[in-house]
Structure 1
Amino acid sequence: MTRVAVLGAKGRMGSESVRAIGATDGLEVVAEIDQGDSLELITSSGAEVALDFTQPGVALDNVTWCVEHGVHVVVGTSGFDDERIAAVRTLLGDEPATGVLIVPNFSIGAILMMRFAETAAPFFESIEVIEMHHPDKIDAPSGTAVRTAELMAAAREAAGSTPLPDATTTDPDGARGARVADIPVHSVRARGFVASQQVLFGGAGEAFTIRHDSHDRTSFMPGVVAAVSGVSARPGVTVGLDAVLGL
């Protein structure tokens, strides 16, 4: 039985995760921690794994505390950027005993979407990403969009692809979107969406689109369960669920 503490347990993802973990054989929620609660509840409850669905401003402090106390961590908090990841790598050192799994998206479909996009990227001249989320999301672009762009850019670099064509010279209002690894990324925040993303590919005489939609937060729960179950077997920092899923 793996004992799990959920941080941000009263939030949308945290509360759904508490239910999913509690319904899974071999997993047990032993601490539900939210704003104002002490992190000491993690160790006093005997938790072996902490699942963090808090806020970007406190997530790194939470991870640091867990690593210093020998507790494995799954980070699902949005906005856990490269700077924070680098800080965790430094904290863990060269021979880490604790696992920190940072997951931009827990949806199995979204992970496959990223993998398919990475595979397709070197074969098309043009690429753009459009991500669509609910208006309560505090970060833009989404972690999934950033990760997708980075994976595609790396695949294109490895293949020796030419730069994306774009003759735009005047864009005072940012209509062409943000640039992530030199790939245009556009963020939509609108009521009615949970989490959606399109990756648009263009070549001479053809267009190709990969799209993924999460309609409900239950779609993330198989990934949450896989992450919580698998983090202890992966000491050090792991980004994404790919390795846990065997991709």
Structure 2
Amino acid sequence: MGKIRVIIAGPRGRMGSEAVRMVEETPSFELAAVLDRKNNGRKLSEIGHFFQGEVPVFSDIEDCLQSVKADVLIDLTVPEAGMHHARTALAYNVRPVVGTTGFSSEELQELQGLVREKGIGCIIAPNFAIGAVLMMKFAKMAAKYFEDVEIIEMHHDRKLDAPSGTAVKTAQLISEERKKKSQGHPEEKETMEGARGADYEGMRIHSVRLPGLIAHQEVLFGSEGQTLKIRHDSYTRASFMTGVRTAVETVMKIDSFVYGLENIME
């Protein structure tokens, strides 16, 4: 098998630039092109001093897919662009690996249907950090024994969605083991709206946004006389690249829709 040819959407973004480096440093990958909304027709080396090579830049995904042969599209942009890119990639038989959060359940169902039609792989992952995926798995395990839980997620102040996709995914996994339950005093009242956070089947999710943070999450369980805290911290965006690399390698071997990196980790 030859090298896996990859297109990256959003190469100038914080995550996208790390993905470019990861692809360039992985011997079995080849960077075929990038999608950037501003620099159509230029070369990658012309749009950032840290980029190398003469990789073409496209602003329109259809132009890109008609001009360049590729196996996988990595999208690390925003939900609206990510959905459009994933749809179009599947139409051209290119396998999407999408790290954008904020997709609705209807959009995920649409992608699942397109994947069934095409018979090729697609991976959507709220979080590509291996440690974050393990945190979610451990939280699901703990939920069998602790029914009271709150999630505190902390991200940089440029993040657009709240709560984070990782927090929502964590709550969904916990709910598979935990019966729906309202927590706290049955007559509690918020004297300031939102003080108790978002409500997901009775468990609370709190979102913190501050400069200096990258991506952090704490899952706090409580029962009589004890608490259990499961926490993950990403200090640099390089922490996500092992998961992105794993997803690219895996998506080439599957013909199904996968939501969540935990589903491809044994």
Structures share fold, TM-score greater than 0.5:
yes
Q: Which secondary structure does the structure 2 equivalent of 1:73 belong to?
A: strand
Distance (Å, rounded) in 1 between the aligned partners of 2:24 and 2:137: 30
Residue identity (%): 41
Q: Who is 1:104 aligned against?
A: 126
Q: Who is 2:42 aligned against?
A: none
2:17 is the counterpart of 1:15: yes
Q: Which secondary structure does the structure 1 equivalent of 2:128 belong to?
A: coil
Distance (Å, rounded) in 2 between the aligned partners of 1:170 and 1:96: 51
Distance (Å, rounded) in 2 between the aligned partners of 1:43 and 1:34: 16
Which of 81, 85, 88 is the aligned partner of 2:111?
Answer: 88
Distance (Å, rounded) in 1 between the aligned partners of 2:231 and 2:216: 7
Q: Is the 8 A contact 2:154 2:215 kept in 1?
A: yes
Name the stretch that deviates more: 162-171 or 83-92: 162-171
CA drift of 1:169 comes to 3.7
Q: Which secondary structure does the structure 2 equivalent of 1:179 belong to?
A: strand
Q: Who is 1:163 aligned against?
A: 181
Distance (Å, rounded) in 1 between the aligned partners of 2:29 and 2:265: 18
Distance (Å, rounded) in 1 between the aligned partners of 2:24 and 2:138: 32
Distance (Å, rounded) in 1 between the aligned partners of 2:183 and 2:236: 36
Q: Who is 1:48 aligned against?
A: 71
Q: Who is 1:180 aligned against?
A: 200
Q: How does 1:53-68 map to 2 (within 5 A)?
A: 53-68=76-91
What count of residue pairs does the alignment treat as equivalent?
Answer: 241
TM-score, length-scaled by structure 2 = 0.86
> Highest CA radius of gyration, 1 or 2?
2
CA drift of 1:43 comes to 4.2
Q: Deviations over 1:18-60 (max 9, x none)?
A: 1011101211111111115121213422111000112112211
Q: Who is 1:205 aligned against?
A: 225
CA drift of 1:233 comes to 1.5
Partner amino acid, structure 2, of 1:112: L
Q: Who is 1:127 aligned against?
A: 149
Distance (Å, rounded) in 2 between the aligned partners of 1:125 and 1:156: 6
Q: Which secondary structure does the structure 2 equivalent of 1:233 belong to?
A: coil
Partner amino acid, structure 2, of 1:8: G
TM-score, length-scaled by structure 1 = 0.93
Distance (Å, rounded) in 2 between the aligned partners of 1:13 and 1:29: 16
Q: Who is 1:231 aligned against?
A: 251
Q: Is the 8 A contact 2:93 2:118 kept in 1?
A: no
Q: Which secondary structure does the structure 2 equivalent of 1:156 belong to?
A: coil
CA drift of 1:242 comes to 1.9
Q: State the Cα RMSD in Å.
A: 1.5
Structure 1, unpaired ranges of 5+: none
Q: Which secondary structure does the structure 1 equivalent of 2:177 belong to?
A: helix
Partner amino acid, structure 1, of 2:36: D
Partner amino acid, structure 1, of 2:8: V
2:152 is the counterpart of 1:150: no
Change in Cα spacing, 1:233 to 1:182, as seen in structure 2 (3 Å) is: farther
